[in-house]
Structure 1
Amino acid sequence: MLCCTIFNVFDDTNNLIKEYKHWKLLVRNKTSTLGSCVAITKRHMAAFSEATPEEVQEFSSVVKDIEKSLKAAFNYDRINYLMLMMHDHHTHFHILPRYATSRTFEGVKWEDTAWPDAANLIVMKGAVVDQDYLNKVKKEILKHF
């Protein structure tokens, strides 16, 4: 039974990087910074406090995997994890690599316009990126898993 539309919102069919027992890790289709991802609990929960010890423990593996992969792929300077749940009332973290200087990937130049301040998703509001480009980002991340 579907709990909500979160997997459609982030298009897990096309954007899945890795499926864990309790989490799905996706490249973020509304990309704020190069390599933006989202980690979503597979089980619906409206508050992170509802997570089981196993779900919390596995999230540690998700964090280690994506930080290692994003660092190798795009050499981020910092990484931000945001749990907002204002529109999608399902536990998920936006994972935003942050960059002090611009990065170019596949001919596209990326600027982290909010650096060095906290990520501001209103200012950084990402447009939906072409799926072919997202596939290249996902492939680059996967090379380092």
Structure 2
Amino acid sequence: MNSTIEKFGYPATLIADFDHWVVLLRAAQPTLGSLILAAKSDATAFGNLPAEAHAELKTVTATIEAALTKAVDYAKINYLMLMMVDPHVHFHVIPRYEGERSAAGVTVPDAGWPVQPDLGAAVKLDGALDDVRDWLKGWFDGGMA
């Protein structure tokens, strides 16, 4: 795994693993269910990813969207490719909703709704990280949590 994936807490934050991508729980939640979608490649530019990674992105995003629909019933979803600090290709995946959502003992309002997400208002999971990860992972495994 590249250093960007490790910085986002892998393997402790791992939600789902694909051939070319990992889905990680974002430790600071601007909305409940916020994720990191990170390429396993060492590429630091989206266009430099192998063609297979681009092709697999269809499956990965469909899986994310199906799981987050069930988990938090989002109204919109934002994929933010910021890459200002962490160099390897990754997206911040932010499900968007009006109001707040709760699970695993954590409540997270969408402070930026209905405009851009307010990343500065993110709820830090700290001691609840494992519980939220396990709850969310259940939706990726096709279960209900």
Q: TM-score, normalised by structure 1?
A: 0.87
Distance in 2 (CA, whole Å) between partners of 1:7 and 1:53 is 20
Partner of 1:13: 11
Partner of 1:124: 121
Paired residues for 1:23-62 under 5 Å: 23-62=21-60
- Gapped regions of structure 2 (runs ≥ 5): none
Distance in 1 (CA, whole Å) between partners of 2:125 and 2:103 is 17
Paired residues for 1:29-108 under 5 Å: 29-108=27-106
Identity %: 33
The answer (yes or no) to whether the contact 2:44–2:88 under 8 Å persists in 1 is yes
Look up the SS of the partner of 2:124 in the other structure. Answer: coil
Which has a greater percent of strand? 2
Look up the SS of the partner of 2:29 in the other structure. Answer: coil
Moved over 2 A (4+): 106-109, 123-145
Compute the displacement of 1:53 (Å). 1.9
Q: Which amino acid aligns with 1:25?
A: V
Q: Deviations over 1:74-97 (max 9, x none)?
A: 111110000000000100011000
Distance in 2 (CA, whole Å) between partners of 1:70 and 1:49 is 27
Q: Deviations over 1:55-90 (max 9, x none)?
A: 111011110000000001111111000000000010
The answer (yes or no) to whether the contact 1:73–1:144 under 8 Å persists in 2 is no
- Gapped regions of structure 1 (runs ≥ 5): none
Q: Which amino acid aligns with 2:58?
A: S
Compute the displacement of 1:28 (Å). 1.2
Of 85-94 and 11-20, deviating more is 11-20
Q: Which amino acid aligns with 1:33?
A: T
Distance in 2 (CA, whole Å) between partners of 1:98 and 1:8 is 26
The answer (yes or no) to whether the contact 1:104–1:110 under 8 Å persists in 2 is yes
Q: TM-score, normalised by structure 2?
A: 0.87
* 1:60–1:129 distance in 2 versus 1, CA, 3 Å: farther
